[in-house]
Structure 1
Amino acid sequence: MMRAVDHLVMPFNTLPEACDWFERIGFVVAPEAAHPFGTGNACVFFADGRYLEPLSIVDPAAYDAAKAEGHLFVERDADVRNLADRPAISGLAFSSSDALADREQLLEEEAGEDGLVEFGRTMRLPDGGAAELSFRLAFAAIHAADAPSFFCCEARHSVRPDRSALTTHPNGATGVTGVTLTAPDPQVFRDYLSAVCGSPAENNPDGSLTFALECGRLDIVPRDVGSFAIESVTITVADLAFARKFWQGQGIACAEESDGVAVDCPNGRGRIRFIEERS
């Protein structure tokens, strides 16, 4: 079954640091929220239902306790934070309607972990209200401490918070359309990523592989130097020329690309790419 991106995890040292940067480049950032295992986030939500999750440690004691207990999410986050050369985007979560079934599928294809993560938290809303949320996560196997963490995220709550006030961004961003990974030899990860994405690989003339996703794509491209990592996330904007002027006004450095522009992330190796939304 072809999967859809739910969100991407981006480790930061502190949430205020993350919020300041995302607001500078033109995003509305949701109020901070804490997980019961010591991490917290301040998410950037999009109109297409996907989001970015800036993540930091907000309760070191709870974090250390969860790590000691073998909590998969915390273990992987800690491995990334201990790296001298940290990736800006450490994890990719796919939407799930049944994380238990997703775990079984991944295990059957020799690409899964036995462990699950289940938790609940309170989400503060822009109007001052709150919503109780609960989640179940099923994880793909991980190749190394510096490799991306892939997991399926099942939202188990019935409430659907109104996030419309959080999805109108000053830079005109509308959604997530692609994720690009790198590896010295993409073919090594062909079967693994096919199981993770729920779709077959398409070979490209440059040696890269493309995996179709629901409303998007995942690419893995060859790099002579570097490891298996998430290089960038591609975000659509309503008007690229407008977005460029916004970033110029904020003094944000942008790199021109064939189909858009890219902004380097401040929290490690990685970029956010922006392309114009196609009708």
Structure 2
Amino acid sequence: MTKTPPAHPLDHLVLPTVSLDVARARLASLGFVVAPTGIHPFGTENCCVFFADGTYLEPLAVGDRQAAASAIAEGNVFVARDRLYRHGLGNEGFSALVLGTTDADADHARYVEAGLSAGDELTFSRAFSDASGKSDTASFKLAFAAGDAATDAFLFACERINAPISTALQAHANGVTGISEVVAVSDLPAGQRRLISITAGSQGKDGDVFELPNAKLTILHPAAFATRFGIPAGAPSQLRFAAIVLSVGSADTVARLLAAGSVEHNIRGNEIVVPPASGQGAAVIFRETP
């Protein structure tokens, strides 16, 4: 019988985009500092947004289609799942929730035992540059999980073998300090509990709220999502990540910044909801946190 491990922390979120230039411009308009482009050795590339709580956003584009195709042929799950997402839902979105781990090998073995493994582990390194242009090497080991029916989303554990961080990349004009909640939509939320509980190491409470050490994951029926955020949940899905709730010190600061940039947004209590747009594949919610 598969044992549930201690809850894994949220590490980062993968956000497919058609163009890093578009994503960079959009994220800058929301008040984020965006890291220099990182190039993977298997055809994809990113421009991350890092937060002081250790989490980050990973906008992901395909920079070298031939290299990506070769990687898929060789069994690279990360690139294969990215292609599957894009073919099903388009080039803008939110494809994966990534959990932090100190032992990706153990996580992979657990996924295999539970019948949830999405494929072989992946170990890789890439060049990293901070805001000043200082270079280093970032290295990771990944273990992948996915449900049979939930083809619109997957999860993976990320072991940071070497992950340099620049504090200059964490100081955002909007005042965001981290990710407090990830919201997914599902036509059948109860059907996703086993996948989430085994990969995240959290049994969930009140049905579909999974507490992680540094954030929470909430699964909502599309109607409940629309009621909470005032925006549509999108096409029907067994499981699709749809919204990112970010912690800020001052909602007024965010509102002024968005208004100055003519960014569409809606104020709902202590939250500011920014609907998805090109380069921003998920709804972004700024929540004032005391």
State TM-score, norm by structure 1: 0.92
Q: What residue is the counterpart of 1:10 in the other structure? A: 15
Closer/same/farther in 2, CA of residues 252 and 53 from structure 1, 3 Å limit: same
With over 3 angstroms needed to count, the CA separation of the structure-2 counterparts of 1:13 and 1:170, relative to structure 1, is same
Please report how far the alpha carbon of residue 234 of structure 1 lies from its aligned counterpart in structure 2 after TM superposition: 0.7
* Residue in structure 2 matched with residue 213 of structure 1 by the alignment: 212
Q: Which has the higher strand share?
A: 1
Q: Which moved more, 1:130-139 or 1:108-117?
A: 108-117
**Paired residues of 1:103 and 1:113 also in contact (CA < 8 A):** no
Aligned-partner Cα distance in 2 for 1:84–1:154: 28
Q: How does 1:118-137 map to 2 (within 5 A)?
A: 118-137=123-142
How many residue pairs end up in the alignment?
A: 272
Matches of 1:39 and 1:117, distance apart in 2: 14
Describe how 1:186-197 pairs up with structure 2 within 5 A: 186-197=189-200
CA 1:73/1:276 → structure 2, altered by over 3 Å: closer, same or farther? same
- The CA deviation at 1:142 is 3.8
1:214 alignment partner AA: P
Residue of structure 2 in register with 1:242 after alignment: 253
What SS is found at the alignment partner of 1:13?
coil
Displacement of 1:232 after TM fit?
0.5
Q: 1:269 to 1:243 in 2, by over 3 A?
A: closer
- Following superposition, the deviation at residue 194 of structure 1 comes to 0.9
Tell me how far apart the structure 1 counterparts of residues 129 and 282 of structure 2 sit (CA, whole Å).
29
CA distance in structure 1 between the aligned counterparts of 2:276 and 2:107, rounded to whole angstroms:
31
* Cα separation, 2, equivalents of 1:196 and 1:118: 19
CA-CA distance at 1:254 after TM superposition: 0.7
What's the offset of the Cα at 1:70?
2.1
CA separation in 2, counterparts of 1:183 and 1:86? 20
Q: Which amino acid aligns with 1:211?
A: F
Partners of 1:166 and 1:108 lie apart in 2 by 39
Farther off after superposition, 266-275 or 44-53 = 266-275
Q: For the structure 1 residues 46 and 180, does the alpha-carbon distance in structure 2 shift closer, same or farther, using more than 3 Å as the test?
A: same
SS of residue matched to 2:178: strand
1:24-173 matches, cutoff 5 A = 24-84=29-89, 88-144=93-149, 146-157=151-162, 161-173=164-176
Give 5+ residue unaligned stretches, structure 1. none
Distance 2:273 2:93 in 1: 14
TM-score under structure 2 normalisation?
0.88
CA distance in 2 between counterparts of 1:264 and 1:50 reads 21
Determine the C-alpha separation between the residues in 1 that align with 2:220 and 2:271: 18
Deviates more, 1:133-142 or 1:84-93: 84-93
How far apart, in 2, do the equivalents of 1:220 and 1:259 lie? Answer: 21
CA distance in 1, matches of 2:16, 2:281: 11
SS at match of 1:156: strand
Which secondary structure state, in structure 1, belongs to the residue aligned with residue 120 of structure 2?
strand
Which amino acid in 2 is paired with 1:92? L
State which drifts further: 148-157 or 218-227. 218-227
Q: Alignment partner of 2:252: what SS? A: helix
Partner of 1:272: 284
Structure 2, unmatched stretches of 5+, are: 1-5, 224-234
Query: Letter of the aligned partner of 2:286 in structure 1?
Result: F
1:71/1:36 CA distance change after superposition, 3 Å: same
Give secondary structure in 2 for the equivalent of 1:127.
Answer: coil
